[in-house]
Structure 1
Amino acid sequence: MTDATAFTPTPLSEILENCAYLDDWQDRMSYVIELGRTLPELPEEKRTADNKVQGCASQVWLVTHAEEGTDPVLTFEGESDAHIVRGLVAIVLSIFSGRRASEIVTTDALDLFGQMGLIEFLTAQRANGLRSMVKRIQDQAAFRLKG
């Protein structure tokens, strides 16, 4: 699947609701892994150095697609070689993909991860990787706004 519009991330509201019902970190991590399995494989030609997210211990790639305009809607493709991180990528795409650049730059994704009860269960490396993914997406949105 090479067309970013062909993949629709799990709605953020559904993820928040499901996380609210999960009692312990093992259930939450299992759910994160399950979300990662919903991501289509990123084609090899998109796994480039330009698309690789720096600051992640695992390999993570994010590809940005933007409409034309002063406040474009951005969509994203992403993948990781690690199961849990791949699930985090899926959640990040649910938070940001399909939104206007102006919304993306003001979204507090880490707060949303806190609402999901996931932040406290991430290792320092995974939390840093998550911050790197969020920064990459918000930087892309800010760039499109300056356009």
Structure 2
Amino acid sequence: MATEAFEDIADTFDFLDDWEDRYRHVIELGKAMAPLDEALKVPATKVEGCASQVWLLPRIAGSGPQAVFSFEGESDALIVRGLIAILHALYSGLSVEDVLKVDASAELGRLGLDEHLSQQRSNGLRAMVGRIRHLAAEAAAE
């Protein structure tokens, strides 16, 4: 289950043969994201378990399992900003119930990220996915 925005990223990754080009594309995705307001970079939005500074702010419309999930995010590392953009494409616009059904490992595996990220970046990516799933689970329970 992937959004159209994520499928567009997957298609672009299929088109780009070289991992250097793919890294550049990830960085460009991050640069295209709107910055998170400095006032929102607080402990409550910070993601623990990332080597870089990462903040995720949920934006949930509605209540219960059918509430629509989205988020804003930012990092002090360009590649991580790009990973946030990829996660935004993967999850934003889904119901919180559907967010919990996404097999992030399989979807991100389609991009080959698991093979080309450092151990620290992989751990950070898992921490971000865990935070997103936690936020969606909380919203679904409301």
**What TM-score bracket applies, with the shorter chain setting the length?**
over 0.9
- Residue identity in the other structure for 1:143: E
Tell me, yes or no, if structure 1 residue 116 matches structure 2 residue 79: no
- Cα distance between partner residues in 2 of 1:15 and 1:130: 17
Residue by residue, what CA displacement relative to the aligned partner does 1:114-135 show, whole Å, maximum 9, x if unpaired?
1012220000000000000000
- Extract unaligned runs of 5+ from structure 1: 1-9
**1:77 alignment counterpart:** 72
Residue by residue, what CA displacement relative to the aligned partner does 1:30-72 show, whole Å, maximum 9, x if unpaired?
1100111111110011101100000000000000011222221
- Cα distance between partner residues in 2 of 1:61 and 1:98: 19
Figure out how many residues of one structure are paired with residues of the other and give that number: 138
3-state secondary structure, aligned to 1:91: helix
- Cα distance between partner residues in 2 of 1:80 and 1:145: 26
Tell me, yes or no, if structure 1 residue 56 matches structure 2 residue 50: yes
Alignment TM-score, normalising by the size of structure 1: 0.90
**Contact 1:28 1:118 survives alignment (8 Å):** no
**2:13 alignment counterpart:** 19
**1:88 alignment counterpart:** 83
- Extract unaligned runs of 5+ from structure 2: none
- Please list, as runs of the form range in 1=range in 2, the aligned pairs for 1:95-106 lying within 5 A after superposition: 95-106=90-101
Alignment TM-score, normalising by the size of structure 2: 0.93
- Residue identity in the other structure for 1:103: D
- Cα distance between partner residues in 2 of 1:69 and 1:43: 25
RMSD: 1.1
Percent same amino acid at aligned positions?
Answer: 43
**2:133 alignment counterpart:** 138
